[in-house]
Amino acid sequence: MRILVADDDSVSRRLMQGILQRNGYEVVLAEDGLSACRELTSPDSPRLALIDWMMPELDGPGVCREVRRRRHDSYVYIALLTAKQGNADIVEGLEAGADDYLTKPCHPAELKARLLTGRRILSYEDKLVESREAMRYRATHDALTNLWNRASILAHLRQAMETAAHRKSTLSVLLCDIDHFKRINDVYGHPAGDAVLEEVSQRLSRSVRKTDRVGRYGGEEFLVVLDGCKADDLKLCAEQVRTAVSGTQIRTVAQTLDVSVSIGAITFEGWSGHASVEQLLKLADEALYEAKASGRNCVSMWGAALRPRLDSVH
């Protein structure tokens, strides 16, 4: 593990470096407080630090305050090295943001034990962050398909429309529905239906750009938000999505199946005025209905880009 040692005395730095390297640490050296602060607030910085209290430019407590003020991602465990032993001094260091302190000269065994404590705390923090991210993922993604869930894709669409209106840019939406999905479930069983949902989800995600969003809108319906996609490009994008799904058969536990999607497509022009998410989706749904009425496995484009007059659509 990497550790920063900050001390303006070169002999003390080298002695501490030797002790730490013998205990398996990768040591980064800083000769003053400003250098230490820059190192600890840079990307991929050490997460353990031994900071001498008395240094020119910026002392140990000052480094602690700056690191706590400027760093808000992964935690840095800081121990101050000091010859001060008064209660007031210790309180000052801890209130500045230090996690621990060691009295100089520090005993190697004590140093090793204190740093192990710091590593345990960092490990606990990593596990908490991992658990938090896992909970966030479960709250925003569909459990079966791993796509964005309905609430998340709608929230993204709302934000994307607000951004497009502010920037006077465009976005397009595809509302996709798996053709005859009820029949797949009824004839081949729900495990086959689940396999189809999973494979279609992967094909949809692979058929669009990384900057686009794909979400499970509900049941066998999917919502694709194409940021920056203009009406002139929408037909081609929608056809790419359609053929990505229907191009090859999908293998399930029951048998290999031909699967297709019907798509309703529409463009929102940010400079054209106000329109709501609900209005946009209502028109996309109308286009999807037309695609199904036209024989399925096709794309239906809503007649024109979404314009202010659609404020009257209910």
What amino acid positions are annotated as catalytic residues?
220
Give the count of beta carbons closer than 10 Å to the beta carbon of residue 242: 22
For 177, list phi and psi in degrees, rounded to 5. Answer: -130, 130
Whether residue 194 contacts residue 144, with contact meaning beta carbons closer than 8 Å, is answered with yes
Quickly list H helices, the chain.
10-22, 33-40, 60-70, 87-96, 108-140, 150-167, 181-188, 190-207, 231-246, 277-293
Instruction: Check whether the bond before 191 is cis (ω within 30° of 0).
Output: no
Cα–Cα distances (Å) from 41 to 26, 56, 128, 294, 303, in that order, read: 18, 19, 22, 59, 53
What are the phi and psi torsion angles at 8 (to 5°)?
-80, -10
User: Using CB atoms within 10 A of its CB, is residue 295 exposed (0-12), middle (13-18) or buried (19+)?
Assistant: exposed
Q: How far apart are CA 277 and CA 165, in angstroms?
A: 12
Tell how far CA 229 is from the center of its chain. 23
* CA neighbor of 202 nearest in space, from 222, 218, 184: 222
Tokens of 90: 């210790």
Burial bucket for residue 262 (CB in 10 Å: 0-12, 13-18, 19+): buried
Q: Which two tokens stand for residue 139?
A: 């709250």
